[in-house]
Structures are given as structure tokens and as C-alpha cells.
Structure 1
Amino acid sequence: MALLWIGLATTAMADDGQCLIKFDTGAVNWRTGNIHVTGKAAPVVGPDGNPVSMPGLAKTHAIRNIIATLKQIRITPDLTVGEYASTNDVILAGIEKTAQDATITRKLYTSAMDVEMEMTANFLGGFLQLVLPDHIRQIPKISDQTPKAGEMRPVAFPIGRAPYSGLVIDARGLDFAPILYPTIVEEQGKEVYSSVFVSREFAVQHGVVTYSCQMSSALSFDRIGTNPLVLKALRRGKDKTGALVVSLADAKILEKATERHKFLKECRVVIVTDAAILAD
């Protein structure tokens, strides 16, 4: 069967640390926030008896798949977007708008006039504004200015240590699937990274965290700068938050870094998890 591709501006899914979660309806790229789906449509018989391709139906099918995929994304381990939005018409409308705003990346026409259409949407921005918890609020701007006379000066960095520019959590081997709102705690349950530290502006624009499935790739992300602090997650919490747990010693390293206030506020955090998986 002959195939004809129309449009080649596809999004690469190379093995460069991008974490793909695949559902029956599409795939979520947790590195970029992109949703990748395919819509299909069979031809109809025209007045002259010949088959007529139906790209509009293929697009409608793709949009339905985007909506279904968005609803399967998990906000927390025990809460999907679909569950959260089920009683909220505003969120449901926002999900539909995200799908309607998707971009057509490729079209395929067969010799039998079948149509296959690939589309890409993104969950950063407006979609996150709707689904992130309300307790993630705006944090006032952190000043980098030199203190005025009589004001306390910031604590100097220890001799020989450059300031940390971001945070990397190594969660490989813990079967930790990406979620929109992860939390990180130390062994005694004290929060290390959560809504308390995050400014909503940055969380909406960039995500609370980004994900990588390769440590080497994660360390190259502009998001965490040139000198990120890398901590190993010991395990997942047993409560419904499924928080990642780091050691007390590692938590103290972060706590002593005064610059953490700025890079945590700006969501300069990457979680390295295992290779792409197929969702249940």
C-alpha cells in the first residue's frame, strides 16, 4: 500500500534522557511536557463512488486522544488529572482547550485514502495553572542586591565551594513514575522540596520539576545550571504522597546551602528516574 507523508516537522524522541510514558491513547514526554498522539480516519464514499479522505475526522480523533491522555497524567501518585477534573467544569474546559491548541506535526495518506494524523500538545503553562494544587502560591522575589547599611549580610559560601545552581534527585531503581507534583522529604519526614519552597509562577511555566531518564543528560540541562547538587533518593514514602526520601545527611547539605531558596523557588529541580515505561 502506497504511503504519502505530508509535513515533516516532527518532534524527536531520541534516546537523550527524555522520559516517555506511553498510554493506549498517546505518549507523555516528561522531559519537554509534550503530549504526542495519533488520529486516524477511514475514507467515505463520495457522490461519484470514489473514496474521499477525511482529515477532519482524523484530527477530531487525535484531539480526543489528547484529552484522554491528559486525563491519565498523575498529579500525585493517587490522583489523576481526570479524577481531579471530574467535578470541575473549568478544568475540563481547560483540558479541551489544551487539546484544541495542539499542533499537527505530520499527516499520512494511504493509496486507499485512509488518513493518519500526528499531533502534539504541551501541558506547561495554562494546563498546569488549572491542575496544580492551590497551595502552590506566588513567593515574593528574592533580592540579590547588596544589603544596605545596618542590614545583615548574606552568609558567605564556604571557602572552595561554588554556589549550587540547582538540585538533581537520583530516583533510579525506585520504580518512581513521573507525576506533576512530586515531593521530597528526609528520613524523618521533614519536607525538603514541596509547595512551601515553590513559586507558582515558575511551577506553571516550567513544571514543579522536570524529568530525565539518563543522569548524563540531566546534568546538561540548562534548568539546573552548571553546578547542581546531586542527591540520591533512598526510597519512596509509604503514604499516599509517595514522596522521595533522601538521607538526613544529604538533607543537611541542602539545608546549609543558603542559595537553595532561590533555585528551589524557581523549580530548578530535575528528577532522574528509570527508562521510559508503558503505563498501566
Structure 2
Amino acid sequence: MRMNKKMVTAAVLGLAFSFGAAYQAPVMAAPAETNVSVQVNVQHEAKSIVTWEKGSNAAIEVWGVGYAPANVPAARGQALARRAAMVDGYRQLAETIEGVQVDSETTMRDLAIESDVVKTNVKALVKGARIIDEHNNEDGSYSVKMTIPMFGESSVASVALPQVKQTAFISDIPKASEAFKPTKEEQKVAVGYTGIIIDASGLGLQCTFSPVVFDTNGRAIYGMLEIDRDYAISHGMVEYSNDLQASAANSRAGANPLVVKAISVKGGGNSVNPVNPVISVEDGDKILFANEKSGMLGKHAVVFVK
């Protein structure tokens, strides 16, 4: 029986969800064209990243690696190695998606366990992965670079965000506390702020689809508020960056961002996943006061530096 591409894809998707993240394995193609087997080799280091820092262009990128079976003609061996590399790529994509943090308490794996719809949609995402690079390697193996978008139509966000629990939402943007008394200078500059940058560098902040900014009193400053769900799916609630200076110069926070330093990061509820930055009460009031003047939070002009 001849195994077509759809059958190979379906088979590896079933395998992928059963593999642990520790098994970073290449794929060895079997000599028979109808059989592709997955073998663990701890010497092979899989290449899988999530490019959160690319904003709405963020993506999961993996390098699948495959090896041709011994004693087959070169042309046939390369074809089999390429197929094996694709199977390895599909597996890595599925494993990487499983680990994506949806909110402070939920991963994509959790959603897939709870919902057959999510599981089916994730399989469709993996099956639809794009190949953006491929080549032969000096050791005779074959590498294929595959990608799935994090945001936009047919993206991880399009599967995840409709499942976000209502507990991840805050019903309204609060106002600055009555105890906050801005100076005349603070009142003057507040009108001109174009967004906020929260510098959480060095604190171990992790990326997620639905973060919440808290102050040290537990007040939610920014979260899944009245955010347009379509906007969150296409662009994300926040933009992530690894560079404070670059973010201040060019990011969704605009030309004149209010920059505040996070004190710590935390999870939510019983979670310990550090996806939510925590700022001082004073900085929280500064953000909320500036938002009253400029409406920047409603424009999702928020950047996290991690």
C-alpha cells in the first residue's frame, strides 16, 4: 500500500502529541517507501523557537532533520531523507505548540486535553505548516525549516484566544487612585504619551497570549479588558521585546512611551508561571492617569521588555 503525504502527516500528528519535550529526535527514513519510523537520538539537538519578539509576525519555527536509509540510490535516499525531515518538523511543531502559554494557568496542551475541537484545530495548523527553507547537510542528512504563525488567520492565537477563560479578563480599565496627586509636570506630559513600555528585563518574564499587568497591591492595570478579540488574534495584546532602547525607538508604544520598571513577575491564581509583570502602585497610577488623558491602553500600545 502506498502512503501519501496526508497519511504521513496524520500519522506523525498522532505521534507528536504523545512525545515528551525531552525526546528531541531526528527521523530516520526506512528503506520501504511506505514506512517512516521515528527513532530517538539524544545526540541530535532539535531547533525549535517561538519568535514572540516579531510582534504580529511572530511564529513557531523548527528545523526538521531526516536521514536516508543505507544502501539506496542517492536520488531516492534524498527524497526519503526529505520526507523524514518533514515528519521530524511536524513532530517538533506539535510539541512546541503544546508548550505555548495561553495565560498564566493554561498551556495549549491543557486546552487540547480539555477540548477535541482545539486538538483538531492544532492538528490542522501543524498539517498546514509552511516550508521556508531546506537543504542537504554535509553528513548526508536533510534539513527542512517549517513555520506556523502565532497571530493572524489560521494561527496559534486563532485557536487559543477563543478558549481563554473569563477569569483572564478584567471588566474595565480602572482609574488612578484618589490618593494619586500628579504634579503639574506629570499632568502636562500625560496627554502626550503614546503608549507604555514595561521593563521586566532580568526577571524571567515568559510570553503569553493574555498577560495581565498588576501593581503590588494586586490591582489589575491592563489585561483582556474590552480588547477587540479580532485584534488580539491578529496582533496580540502586547508586543514583546528583548531590547529596551530599541523598543523606545520603534515599537507599538509609539514615539513617546511612558517607561516603567517592573518590580517582579508572577502567575495568576494558583499558577507559578511568570507571565504577568508587577509594577509599583505609583507607576500603576501614572499609567492609569496617562490613559485617562490619551486612551493609550485602549489602543493596545503596550510593550513588555523581557
Larger strand proportion of the pair = 1
Q: 1:74 to 1:260 in 2, by over 3 A?
A: farther
> In 1, Cα distance between the equivalents of 2:254 and 2:220?
23
Matching of residue 69 in structure 1 with residue 69 in structure 2: no
Q: What is aligned with 2:50?
A: 28
Amino acid at match of 2:62: V
Does residue 60 in structure 1 map to residue 60 in structure 2?
no
Offset from partner CA, 1:54-86 (integer Å, 9 cap, x none): 222321221221111111111234322111221
Quote the sequence identity (%): 22
Distance 1:223 1:246 in 2: 20
Q: Which amino acid aligns with 1:200?
A: R
1:212 positional shift? 0.8
8 Å CA contact 1:202, 1:265 repeated in 2: no
- Matched positions, count: 234
1:129-176 CA-to-partner distances (Å, cap 9, x unmatched) read 321215479x9xxxxxxxxxxxxxxxxx94455522111111122222
Q: Of residues 196, 199, 203 in structure 2, which corresponds to 1:170?
A: 199
Cα shift at 1:91: 1.3
Query: Unaligned regions of 5+ residues in structure 2, if any?
Result: 1-44, 172-185
The one of 275, 284, 295 aligned to 1:251: 284
- Cα RMSD, aligned residues only: 3.0
Q: Deviations over 1:210-268 (max 9, x none)?
A: 21111012223341211111111112247445532111111111121245774323322
Match of residue 184 from structure 1: 213
Query: Aligned partners of 2:92 and 2:187: how far apart in 1?
Result: 52
Code of the aligned partner of 1:255: L
Distance 1:252-1:41 versus aligned 2 partners, 3 A rule: same
| 1:90-116 alpha-carbon deviations (Å, 9 max, x no partner) | 212222222233222221214675311
Aligned letter for 1:202? Y
Distance (Å, rounded) in 2 between the aligned partners of 1:252 and 1:48: 70
The answer for the alignment partner of 1:37 in structure 2 is 62
Tell me, what secondary structure is at the counterpart of 1:26?
strand
Aligned equivalent of 2:227: 198
Change (3 A) 1:67 1:262: farther
User: TM-score, normalization: structure 2?
Assistant: 0.67
1:215 corresponds to 2:240: no
Q: Work out whether 1:102 is the aligned partner of 2:129.
A: yes
**1:108-119 map, 5 Å:** 108-110=135-137, 113-119=140-146
Gaps of 5+ in 1: 1-22, 140-156, 274-280
CA contact (8 A) 1:185 1:191 kept: yes
CA shift in 2, pair 1:260/1:81, >3 Å: farther
Distance in 1 separating the partners of 2:288 and 2:73: 74
Aligned match of 1:230 = 259
Cα distance change, pair 48–28 in 1 and its aligned pair in 2 (3 A): closer
Q: Which has the higher helix share?
A: 2
**Does the Cα contact within 8 Å between 1:77 and 1:240 map onto a contact in 2?**
no
Change (3 A) 1:66 1:176: same
Q: 2:150 & 2:47 partners in 1: Cα distance? A: 16
Residues in 2 aligned to 1:171 and 1:111: alpha-carbon distance in whole angstroms: 42
- Following superposition, the deviation at residue 38 of structure 1 comes to 1.1
> Letter of the aligned partner of 1:178 in structure 2?
C
Counterpart amino acid of residue 297 in structure 2:
L
